[in-house]
Amino acid sequence: MQPSLALQDDQEHLPSLLATDAKELSYQLQQHQAKIFPPLSQKTIRTFSPAEAAAFIGIGEGYLRQVAADGHGPDPLANGRRLYSATDMDRIRRVLDERNGTPKYVPARRPGEKLQIVSVMNFKGGSGKTTTAAHLAQFMALRGYRVLAVDLDPQASLSALFGHQPEFDVGEGETIYGAIRYEDPRAIADIVRATYTPNLHLIPGNLELMEFEHETPKAMSSGTAETMFFARIGEVLTEIESLYDIVVIDCPPQLGFLTMSALCAATSVLITVHPQMLDVMSMSQFLTMTSELMSVVEKAGGRTSYDWMRYLVTRFEPNDGPQSQMTGFMRAIFGNRMLHNAMVKSTAVADAGVTKQTLYEVERSQFTRGTYDRALDSLNLVNGEIEAHIRSTWGRK
Ligand SMILES: Nc1ncnc2c1ncn2[C@@H]1O[C@H](COP(=O)(O)OP(=O)(O)OP(=O)(O)O)[C@@H](O)[C@H]1O
Ligand SMILES: [Mg+2]
């Protein structure tokens, strides 16, 4: 006899229970979020000191002072200091290029330079993918490149970090799933959103991305899909490619169809790794599985060669012996496929993350100066190194 599925009095009906909990959790989170960011307080990028602005623009501080004194910078504050917004930096780039008569400070792609698509991946959860992707995208936008960030993770942490709550602000078909789904796909141009960071656009994520994992096997077995699953992200990105210089894709912590599709769309790959034994062991599995899957995809015509790939050590604690050892171990094996700079672990990054902010958003006065500056220095070194790889694929210095 089959056991009865009818509920007994003292039993809980799990689906209803989970649905109720999800609703309540979601509501309370929204309340909490509203408290942290009252509706009128928009998320913004902070303003930058003259030294920071000069570095982002790519000129000396003295020259920046002169340009500002010529009337092209922000008005000075009461204390005579100038603080530069992202928009001020963009304006100054344009002024400098007009003066010189050649495009130099506005770094947009020139003819022959192809769109750079950087996929940030590793199936190890918490290896720093989203933190890396968010800061990389903002850094490049602050450097003046036209950047598109794509959230490919159903958990949508990148979207939340950029102020788009996956449950409330992202409707049906408004993730990249809307453009890559097998039935009735939308134009990707209709999905892209502007953000509060000038030059940075976002395709947010939410749970609907999971549909792609479910529908792909069906589409493959019925043979109905015009484009193979692994080519779909790359294909839709070509529709808007002239609008951007760099695309940064934040992958989910799984090696599913979405990640494989991001891998095939990518021109370069960043694999984040926290230098601890268990994480490195799991990365070894990740690499084996990725390699095997890519061989299959390659036979079906998917892209398998890249401009560059690098391992990035994340949440690095230089004073932790085992971590330094593990990093040395990886450097010995991977050589220059490791980025020279590692992203240090910092309470500034973790604390900023709690209020869904990046280091380019929080005010440095919220932290001990040394703490904030150390984190920012490390971040800028990592991002600068990635920028150099991108520029070198364009044949620039
Ligand atoms: N450099 C850092 N210093 C301190 N904390 C960090 C740093 N980088 C990331 N974190 C914290 O570690 C946690 C995991 O980071 P993150 O979300 O970027 O990882 P992930 O690989 O995207 O995770 P998932 O696999 O779940 O998508 C977050 O709470 C983040 O704030
Ligand atoms: Mg993530």
| Residues 124, 217 within the same domain | yes
What is the per-residue pLDDT across 126-169, written as a single tens digit (0 to 9) for each? 999 999 999 999 999 999 999 999 999 999 999 999 999 898 89
Q: What is the pLDDT of residue 256?
A: 92
Q: Cβ distance 271 to 311 under 8 Å?
A: yes
Which positions ≥6 away from 117 have C-beta within 8 Å?
A: 234, 237, 246, 247, 249, 265, 266, 267, 268
Beta bridge mates, 313: 273
pTM, 2 dp: 0.91
| Residues 129, 59 within the same domain | no
Any ligand 1 atom below 6 A from CB of 73 = no
Q: What is the pLDDT of residue 397?
A: 78
CA distance 211 to 91: 42
Any ligand 1 atom below 6 A from CB of 349 = yes
Protein residue whose Cα sits closest to atom 13 of ligand 1: 126
| Residues 292, 353 within the same domain | yes
For residue 164, give both structure tokens.
């788009």
What is the per-residue pLDDT across 202-256, written as a single tens digit (0 to 9) for each? 999 999 999 999 999 998 888 777 788 899 999 999 999 999 999 999 999 999 9
Which residue from 348, 338, 352 is spatially nearest to 377, judged by alpha carbons? 348
Any ligand 1 atom below 6 A from CB of 116 = no
- Strands of the sheet containing 268-273, edge to edge, are 193-194, 200-203, 147-151, 246-250, 116-121, 268-273, 308-313
124 CA from centroid of ligand 2 (Å) = 10
Any ligand 1 atom below 6 A from CB of 315 = yes
Any ligand 1 atom below 6 A from CB of 378 = no
Protein residue whose Cα sits closest to atom 11 of ligand 1: 350
| Residues 54, 135 within the same domain | no
| Residues 227, 345 within the same domain | yes
Q: What is the pLDDT of residue 284?
A: 85
| Residues 182, 149 within the same domain | yes
Any ligand 1 atom below 6 A from CB of 153 = yes
Residue 1 falls inside a structural domain: no
- What does the buried/exposed string (b/e) look like for 146-176 if buried means 16 or more CB atoms within 10 Å of the residue's CB? bbbbbbbbbbbbbbbbbbbbbbeebeeebbb
Residue 17 falls inside a structural domain: no
Which helix (H) or strand (E) segment holds residue 62: the answer is helix 61-67
Q: What percent of the chain has pLDDT above 90?
A: 72
Give the confidence band of 40 by pLDDT, cuts at 50, 70, 90: very low
| Residues 79, 219 within the same domain | no
Q: What is the pLDDT of residue 38?
A: 54
What is the DSSP annotation of 141-184?
Answer: HHTT--EEEEE--TT-HHHHHTT--TTTT--TT-STHHHH-SSS
Pick the most confident of 30-39, 288-297, 371-380.
371-380
Average per-residue pLDDT for the chain? 91
| Residues 137, 55 within the same domain | no
Ligand 1: residue of 122, 127, 131 to mutate (most ligand atoms within 8 A of CB) is 131
What is the per-residue pLDDT across 268-289, written as a single tens digit (0 to 9) for each? 999 999 999 888 888 888 888 8
The structural domain count of the chain equals 2
Residue 57 falls inside a structural domain: yes
Give the confidence band of 8 by pLDDT, cuts at 50, 70, 90: low
Beta strands in the chain (DSSP E): 116-121, 147-151, 193-194, 200-203, 246-250, 268-273, 308-313
Residue 281 falls inside a structural domain: yes
- CATH code at 385? 3.40.50.300
| Residues 152, 212 within the same domain | yes
Any ligand 1 atom below 6 A from CB of 126 = yes
- Mean pLDDT is lowest, of 19-23, 133-137, 146-150, 337-341, for 19-23
253 CA from centroid of ligand 2 (Å) = 7
Which positions ≥6 away from 84 have C-beta within 8 Å?
A: 47, 48, 49, 50, 52, 53, 73, 74, 92
Residue 39 falls inside a structural domain: no
CA distance 397 to 393: 10
Residue 7 falls inside a structural domain: no
Residue 251 falls inside a structural domain: yes
Give me the mean pLDDT over the 163-188 stretch: 94
**Secondary structure letter of residue 249 according to DSSP:** E
| Residues 70, 177 within the same domain | no
| Residues 133, 87 within the same domain | no
- Domain around 75: 50-100
Answer yes or no: is pLDDT of 58 > 90.
yes
Ligand 1: residue of 122, 130, 367 to mutate (most ligand atoms within 8 A of CB) is 130
What is the per-residue pLDDT across 253-264, written as a single tens digit (0 to 9) for each? 999 999 999 999
346 CA from centroid of ligand 1 (Å) = 11
**Secondary structure letter of residue 70 according to DSSP:** I
Domain boundary among 35, 67, 100: 100
126 CA from centroid of ligand 1 (Å) = 5
Cα Rg of the chain, angstroms: 23
139 CA from centroid of ligand 1 (Å) = 17
Residue 11 falls inside a structural domain: no
Distances (CA, A) of 51 to 38, 47, 221: 32, 12, 57
| Residues 199, 60 within the same domain | no
